[in-house]
Structure 1
């Protein structure tokens, strides 16, 4: 039971912090300068005729 309590406390504190940091990182990565052109090129890949 002690292991469960320790893991629960870790998930409640550091796990939440890690998920929040990942979420903010994903938002920053998406909105970074130059990402619009990269996203446009990736979106056009299925439409290219080979």
Structure 2
């Protein structure tokens, strides 16, 4: 399948880029999901709470 280092490097660069773009998009969708808004707002207030 991989005859040379160059072909292996090209394969890894191409699929690695696609993998990281997919992970980035998944994190953005997770962070901006309306169903998680209250959870993130509550977490943002933690440093301001007095015990």
TM-score w.r.t. the length of structure 1 is 0.76
Over 3 Å off, 4+ runs: none
Structure 2 gap ranges (5+)? none
RMSD between superposed Cα atoms in Å: 1.3
Structure 1 gap ranges (5+)? none
User: How is 1:2-17 mapped onto 2 (pairs within 5 angstroms)?
Assistant: 2-3=4-5, 5=6, 6=8, 8-17=9-18
How many residues are matched?
47
TM-score w.r.t. the length of structure 2 is 0.75
